[in-house]
Structures are given as C-alpha cells and as structure tokens.
Structure 1
Amino acid sequence: MPPSTAPAPADSLRSHPAFVQFWFARIASGFGFQMLSVAVGWQIYAITGRALDLGLIGLVQFFPSVLLALPAGHMADQFERRRIVQLGLLVEWLAIVALAAISLLHLAHEAGILVLVFMVSTAKAFEFPALQSMVPALVPTPVLPRAMAASASAGQAAMIMGPAVGGLLYVAGPGTVYSVCALLYLVAAVLMGRLRYEQAPPRREPATLKTLFAGVHFIRQRPDVLGVISLDLFAVLLGGATALLPIFAKDILHTGPWGLGLLRAAPAVGALLMSLWLTRHNMERRVGPIMFACVAGFGVATLVFAVSTALWLSLAALFALGAFDMVSMVIRGALVQLDTPDAMRGRVSAVNAIFINTSNQLGEFESGLVAAWVGAVNATLIGGIGTLVVVGLWMAMFPSLRRRQRLHAEPAQADATAIETL
C-alpha cells in the first residue's frame, strides 16, 4: 500500500508549521547552550580548581536575569517578540564567537570567560519573556499545554546530546566546543528570523513603575500562580546540584569530561521522556497533587544522587530528577500562559523568569558556596532535605493549589480562590 498522505489532525502539533519551525530553533539554541555550559564549567574548574568559582558562573548569570527581567517583559509587550528573540540570539552568538577566539588563541582566563558569560546572560534576559510569550500565538488554545511540553522538550532533547557531545569535543579543546556552539546559534537566529509569527499590534505605553510591575500585581492577585512558581523557586534553589557536577565527576565518581557530559545529560533524558508523554496526554485532573508529589520526588532524587558513589546510580538519580522537574515545569508554564491575557504575557513571563533564574543561577551560586564550606556531598544532602521541607510548607500555605484539579481554572473557581485569600 502507498504511504498515507492524510494531513495531521487539527489538534496535532505537526499541523502548525510555525510552531514546528519555532521548535527547531529551540533545539539549535538549546543544543548550543548546553554544550557551552559544559565547556565553561570544565574550563574554569581546570583553570582555578576552586568550587566557589563554579558558583560564580551561576552568579554572573543571575544578576542580569533578575535586574533586567521587568524591563525585558515590558519590551516583549511593546515590540515584536520574534525580533527581540532574534536579536538576543545574535548577541549571544557574538559572545560565543569571542569565547572561541580567546580559547583558540590561548588567551582565556577566568575573568574574561565570566564577562562573556555575563554578555550571554544579558541577551537571554531580554530573549526569555519574548520567547515564552510567543508560544500561545503559534497554536490554538486547546493545544497550548501540549505545545508547552513540546517546547520544553526541545531544550531537553538538546540537553541529551549537547552535554555529551560537548564533553567529547572538549578533548580537542574548549575552542572547538565554542565554535560548534556559535554555528548552532547562527542557525537558530536564521530560523527565528524566517518564522511567520502573527502578533496583535501592541499598545505602546511608556515605561513607568506601574507598567513595569504590572506582572507582579497580576500574579499577586492569583494565589495558585504565585504558589506554583514560588514552589519551583525554593525547591530548585535548595535542591539544585548541577553546578557541582564537575566536582562529583572528578573527585567522587572519578570520571573525566565525557562522564561530566553524561551526568549533565541524564536529567535531560528523564525530562525529555516525560515531556514526550505530556505532549500526547493532557493533564486534566489532580494537577495540584501531581505537582507536589513530583517536587517531593525531585528532593528524594537529589538525596540519592548526593550519597551515590557509583556512576550508574548517579545517572539514575539525575534521570528521575529531570522527569519530576519536567512535570512541575509544564504545569507552571501552562497555568501561567492560560491564565494571562496576551497583552500581559511578556510582563508576567518576565516575573516568572525571575523565579526561574533565581532558582537556577542563584541556586548554582548557593550550591557552590555551601560546597566550599561543608563539601559537595553535604551541600547536596542539605538541598534535598530542604526541598522536602518546602513541599510540606507550600502544601499548608496554598491549600487551593493543593486541591487544584485542572490547569485552566474555571471562572467560578478562580473567583472563589481570590475571595479565599482576602
């Protein structure tokens, strides 16, 4: 029989070519960024040999992501989001080209690397709110939760191969890794520039304190949204151990750059498989209990990783950690986007970015700092226990979130939640 030529169902993501192109751009930039992370972490640790310097990588990413988030969100609601994302990718490409140049010319030193990482982080601060706000315009509303999962899967798929390939390429030197990263970022920028994206003409407003903090006010009026993003903030802030992976790889598991690449890829494998499941299955009931259970699972997986001295067990723990984290990520992302009008999505996404980047970048600095005081194993144990404590506290502080059944709250339910918090 000849192959079927029937079109994809209307609710299939494949039937939306603009989203497919967007997805490939995410793959390219995500692949490059994960390779970049492996190279930067290993290169700085090779230069200094200090755990605290690994934390500095997270710190220089944290400051621009937080300080520039609100202006970036305002810009995402005032200008064409596609162009903002493309410009951000091009700035990141320039910084990565500079990293490749100083590495190939043997001019790399810690301060120079951190300055260029800061440049990448500054561009990403403007890119992120616009990027997140684009997804609802690429697919119909009923498909949005699965699109959010697919969008997240792009980064996770890149993380599976990116760190491993980055570790292997590092054998030829960091300059080789950075050169490949630069090529991938250029591909992403071209794809984004050619994307057909329809955005309602934005209503231009001057940047005032009221407009800049409109996203903060919006989230404060919705306790479920506040609860879900703050839970992710504190859980990942305490439980994140990715900044310490070079220490675990070299000093505890006694492996090399290839092993570090596998360790960085393991959470992505778990997250990708989970995201692929979520793209085919809508979460239509018990989303609150599911989210809390998965964040608790994230904490338990962190504890297992902390005590492991075998590479296979460490990889299994990181695999589970990534799967649990993906569920929380999709619930948070879909809930925020579904409850936010398009004219506000940039500013609300910017506030969400503050929570995400605080948990990731500041969490890396916190992990490096605590590891410098008490050692990498004890620091990771403290983080895992802290995550479980946070889960218990948030279940008591946000009862409506604990009882929430659906991603998109019914109007009556939303009104009751608002009255409950008065």
Structure 2
Amino acid sequence: MRNDQVFALIDCNSFYASCERVFRPDLAKTPIVVLSNNDGCVIARSYDAKPFVKMGEPYFQAKEKLRRHGVVAFSSNYALYGDMSERVMTLIESMVPGTEVYSIDECFADLSGIQENLTNFGHGLRLRIMQRTGIPVGVGIARTKTLAKLANHTAKRLLSHTGGVVDITEPVKRDWVLRNTKVKEVWGIGRKMTAHLEAMGIITAMDLAKADAWTLRQRFSVVVEKTARELAGTACLDLDEVEPPKQEICSSRMFGKRLSELAPIKQAVATYVGRAAEKLRAQGSVCKRMRVSIRTGMFNPDEAHHAQGALVELPYPTSDTLLMTRLATDAVARIFRPGYRYSKAEVLLLDLRQPGEFSQDLFALKQPVSCDRLMQVMDDINQRWGSGTMRAATVPAAPDWGMKREMMSQSYTTRIDQLWTIKG
C-alpha cells in the first residue's frame, strides 16, 4: 500500500430525514423522524429531532410526544432513499480517483494525487453534492480508512467549527483528534470490546493507537490489531472499488395485518420473489435453490404460534421471476396451516453463482435465451417507469396486506406519476 495514500469518508447527514427534506423545503427547520416497516419504530432522526425521541422508540409510544414538540414523522420510502443514494454516489465518483460505497449513505474515496488543499477540496465536494442533490454531507480526510472515519465523526461533532470537513493527514491534527475521542467511538469497536479495552486502561483512541498491536491480536483478534495500527497511521485496509456479488439475497417483510388465508400469503411471497429476483439480476447472478418461510407473530401469548420453511430446488440456475414465483408459491401451499394468523413471509435465494460457474453435464437444462430477454425487458420497463410497473400476474398493485405506510412521501424520483410539482 502506498505511503502517500489519502482516504476520505463522505457520509450523508441524517440521510433518510435529509431525503425527505429535499422535496419538502417547508420542513427545513422542522424536526423529522422516519419510521420502520409498518410504522413500527423510529429508525432515523434529523439532528434537531434527537432531543425528543430515542432511536428505536416505538412510534405508538412516541406519537403524542412528537406531536407536542412539532416533530413530523414519515413512513420509510426506500425507493426514494435508494435513488437519492445512487445520485450522491455517482456524483462523488465523478470527482475523485476511486470510490468504495460502504453503505447507502457512506462512501470511501481515494484522494491520492490530488494537488489542491485537501480541506478546500472537501468543502468543494460537500458544496457540489448539496447543490446537485440537496443532501448535506460530512467529509473526513486521513491517511487510513479508520482515521478517515474518525475525522468524519469529528467533522459532524464539531460542525459549527469545522464546516463539515476535517483533514487529519498531518500528525498534529491527527493526534488532537485521537486524544479527544473516546475509544467507544472508533470504527469497529463495539460495546463489549469497549468494556474489555477500558479494563486494560485504554480509554481514548490515542490509548488504542499507542497500545501494543501484537498483544491486541493475541488477546482479541487481528481486526482489533489492524484498528490500532490504522489509528497509529499505518494503512491496513485498502479501497475495495468493486463490491463482490452477494452470496445470499433475502426479501422479507411484515404484513400490514395478520393473514389467515392462503391466497394473500401467496401474493406476498410472489411480491418478495420479484424483489429478490431483481436484485439477483442486478448483480448478474443466477440462483439454484431458495428457501421460502412464513411465520405467525411469536410474542403474543394469546395467539397460536407457527413457523415453517421449505427448501426449493430450482430445475436449473435461473434468474427467471416467473419460474421462481411459481415454485415459491407452490412451496407456500405445502407449509401453510389453516387456523393460524400469519404476520411475515421471507424469500431467501441461495447458492448464487455467475452464469457458467455451475458444473453441469452436457444435457442439463439451462435458462432459455428468450427468458433472459423477457427479464431484461421487465427490468428496463421498471427502471424507466417505476418499480412494479411490470410484474407477475400474481402480484397485486395495491394489496390490502401490504405494509402500513400511512405517512409515506411520494416517490419523487422513481415514479413518473409522483413527480415533484410546483404550484404557482
């Protein structure tokens, strides 16, 4: 790894809430929270909403408190968040030598070789992202990925002083951040590890950077050793520019209400198969088997409990939504039991490979070329006109069992019928 390598971590601030504000400028000064599936609990908060509600707090308990403090709640709109994330990441990729998308709202970037002042570059990047997408970001710049994470954390923690950008490539600035950061705030150091480290007298990030790396490896793991070395300025983690294909793909949702009939459960499973198959094709993979499962709510003592799954062997490696839907719904019919009130279904795609990686004999069945073409047309139509525009006939457009999303915003960027409109 090069000695002159420089990393940046660009992290979207309160990402879900920021996405909602892009198309609701009237809420620029209003606290916002975003809720989990079925409007269950708080999963995202704008900075000004944090004093009023805890992360993970059930919405039904916090509802009156939020209303009293003027906090606006939104149902989760993953189509909007995913599209806004792609716009931000594409913009970053156009401005830096290399990137690694770490999560939906975080991206590592390679700034090696950039000649201008890195703090100024960070502010320019931050400004351009805000101008082009409306999403505020923080930028942390350092010699290692772990230090870049720490710099980003500092940029947000001291936003009024940093302007959202912190460069700690210089040892003096790096050491100041290390001394003023608790070890529990270091990337990859969880609650249990924090307790172990604090018992050893390692309280700050600086303490961890100065600890004997070999001792940390013997006592804990190579991960902790690498973390300490990275904090000390030795890069151990490189930029992973290409994300490897996933080995499993899961599509799972709670129903909007309990279901006791087979037909709507089949519809739900068909819907989840469609979503999973889209992800499968997006990474260019095919699937040889899948697991379909259904279950009741497991925590109500007054309800009978039932959970069962079935493994489905596909006739050949495939990404065909229609074939997978037919076999998955047949499996549901086998495991469904009358008299239970089901709350959730799950489709898990297993044994994923790239086409041609499965070892087969000369006469084994293969996915027809016509099927590949049909799936490509389906994906093209859904990409252009919105997810679900073209789907299997067993999937309803607006099912009554669907997730409860009573406060969901429009899909401003992914559905042509929900484009942002400005009234004069």
TM-score by length of structure 2 reads: 0.24
Higher strand share: 2
Instruction: Report 1 or 2 for greater relative contact order, CA contacts < 8 Å, sequence distance ≥ 6.
Output: 1
Query: Larger % of helix: which?
Result: 1
The structure that has the greater radius of gyration is: 2
